Amino acid sequence: MISRRGFFKTVGASFLSMMALGSYAVAEPLVRLRTARYALTPPGWTPGLKLRIVALADFHACQPWMPAERIVSICEQANALQPDVVLLLGDYVSGMRLVTDRMAPDVWAQALSTLQAPLGVHAVLGNHDWWEDAEVQRQGGGTPASRRVLEAVGIPVYSNRALRLEKEGRGFWLAGVEDQLAILPRRGHPEIRKDDLAGTLAQVTDAAPVILMAHEPDIFPQVPGRVSLTLSGHTHGGQVRLFGYAPVVPSRFGDRYVYGHVREGGRDLIVSGGLGCSGLPIRFGAPPEIVAIDLG
């Protein structure tokens, strides 16, 4: 039988352990950053085409969790990886209420303008870039402020668009679909999605491989084999992972597309764990990350 002293020692130790875990979960988004690396040659990839992609997702810019200085620091580390192309996968705006200050869109956009790559920096929008824009929500559409500020600093935003790029004479297509959760449901009006996968891929006019940017990975079952690689964010890797399991995943597929490299039916998807936080300013077992992908 445990003694009174032993009982309180056990309770005290448990309390301190919980405090330590809680402190780590809050500190992780602020101080930790890793690089997740992948190397693959997708089916149908052009022989001899070697391409390094650096992908950044889910900044959720705000004070104090993702200030402009941290965004610049992340961009510097991304540049140091010497990417051929940088892809931004959406959710630049924070939807959290536990913040000390919002960040003006032009401030985080200016921070992102420090990214550099020979084949450019390219972006899609995420659900929070739509949800936190009161005007486009009221109208049920329009151009979100996130798109305007990105394009103002020279970063093109792919809203159901495809563009052909080349490296050393070998071509590939970069495509991006608009957000799948763009307009929140209102009384008498259902949720409105803005993505057009078929229309986007219809712009591809030759046999060169296609890289698709889609903020939410839930689109992946609809992606045809014609697409060499799909890149997504949105899930934050679960944001909290216990023994490899994420109890909460913002996807109708549960943990099927929660994180990392997924191959289904000969098709490839890579889901970034993201950089910022949503809901609560904590991460545990799912540290912020830069994604570096070597193709070919």
Buried b (16+ CB within 10 A) or exposed e, 175-207: bbbbbbbbbeeeeeeeebbbbebeebbeebeee
Smallest CA-to-CA distance from 46 within 181, 183, 188, 169 is with: 169
For tokens 């301190």, the residue is 16
* Residue 120 falls in which region: left (phi positive, over 0), alpha (psi -120 to 50) or beta: left
* Residue 128 falls in which region: left (phi positive, over 0), alpha (psi -120 to 50) or beta: alpha
**pLDDT reported for residue 26:** 54
Q: Give how far Cα 156 sits from Cα of 29, 177, 179, Å.
A: 28, 13, 15
Residues 84 and 103: their CA atoms lie apart, in Å, by 29
Torsion of Cα atoms, 239 then 219 then 227 then 176, to 10°: -80
The SS3 of residue 2 is: coil
pLDDT one digit per residue (tens) for the chain, 296 residues: 443 344 334 333 333 333 333 344 454 555 679 999 999 999 999 999 999 999 999 999 999 999 999 999 999 999 999 999 999 999 999 999 999 999 999 999 999 999 999 999 999 999 999 999 999 999 999 999 999 999 999 999 999 999 999 999 999 999 999 999 999 998 778 899 999 999 999 999 999 999 999 999 999 999 999 999 999 999 999 999 998 889 999 999 999 999 999 999 999 999 999 999 999 999 999 999 999 999 99
Q: Which residues contact 261 (CB under 8 A, 6 or more apart)?
A: 38, 40, 268, 269, 270
Q: What φ, ψ does residue 173 adopt, rounded to 5°? A: -105, 140
The SS3 of residue 170 is: strand
* CATH number belonging to domain 32-295: 3.60.21.10
Smallest CA-to-CA distance from 296 within 36, 48, 44 is with: 48
**pLDDT reported for residue 186:** 86
What size, in residues, is the chain? 296
